[in-house]
Structure 1
């Protein structure tokens, strides 16, 4: 089981990923911790070091759920090339509906974020609306992932 939970900052991806890992009895990894403090001039870039560390983490653990901020299609492609069988879970936040549903585990203020490249139909994974409490979101993810394999396309859940 190789899962990367992605989404904007206000989706609390580390919390959702940690809860999903607990539910699936897997290890949890916050990928923000993979960035080195610095890199050598002329050496690999921060992104290359991060990708190498992520690939290594997935090879060392049989069951791992990692959290990440929003990832571009190009970055997801690089991860898939290095981590066979990885499945992405994209948390989708509705900007109009988010404030009334905001709870203690989400950020108090929405942050500006870059344009998000949603999972495409040819990518293995699921898109989940961040529109409920943590337990409900994790339940929906676990249910959808039970049928999401490496060769299965993205499935949307509760997206309007």
Structure 2
């Protein structure tokens, strides 16, 4: 990517946003912000108890991420955020026009397996079904790319960086 963009690494829980986000930020030479750090404690408590968040729970979280992204406009940055619904991505774009999305995608069984092996995270695998039910993939008019999460973190990061470069190149 030629100009510094703010990239939102999105996808359902367990796709590797927290792993790929920092690797992609390093690859692009920009700062990384962990989206989970923007959640109020009440959201973390709900998810830890296995209760899916409502849109009302998510708005302040999305606004905080949007504020961070807006502050990085023209400077670049990478932030992780599930951004599962179009309305969530629209809210982020309203706060920070020009954000670009990297949608990490993968087979449900692979993602569930990865979630079951991670330690110290508040999101239980029981909420994975609600994540997939909520997911609205990127639409053609949204600036972003879909990247499959098979392979090593380094391979996934390289695919994401290559796709972002292709996205920013003018079409002949």
Q: Same fold (TM over 0.5)?
A: yes
1:7-22 equivalences under 5 Å are: 7-22=11-26
SS at match of 1:123: coil
Match of 2:101 in 1: 88
Corresponding residue of 2:59: 48
Check conservation: 1:12, 1:107, Cα contact below 8 A: no
1:14-33 aligned at under 5 Å gives the runs 14-33=18-37
2:49 match: none
User: What whole-Å deviation, never above 9, does each CA across 1:20-55 have from its counterpart, x for those lacking one?
Assistant: 0111111111111112336xxxxxx64332233222
Matches within 5 A, 1:1-160: 1-37=5-41, 46-61=57-72, 62-96=75-109, 98=110, 106-108=114-116, 111=125, 112-114=128-130, 115=133, 116-149=135-168
Partners of 2:17 and 2:162 in 1: CA distance: 18
Give CA deviations for 1:63-84 in whole Å, capped at 9, x if unaligned: 1101122521111111111111
Distance in 1 of aligned mates of 2:59 and 2:86: 16
RMSD: 2.5
Q: Which has the higher contact order (CA 8 A, sep 6+)?
A: 2
2:106 & 2:83 partners in 1: Cα distance?
11
Contact 1:35/1:46 (8 A) holds in 2: no
Higher share of residues assigned strand: 1
Which is helix-richer, 1 or 2?
2
SS state of the match for residue 142, structure 1? helix
Unmatched 5+ stretches in structure 1: 39-44, 153-160
Residue 147 of structure 1, CA deviation? 2.7
Structure 1 Cα separation of the partners of residues 15 and 163 of structure 2: 18
Q: Which runs of 5+ in 2 are unaligned?
A: 43-55, 118-123
TM-score normalised by length of structure 2: 0.71
| TM-score (normalizing by structure 1) | 0.76
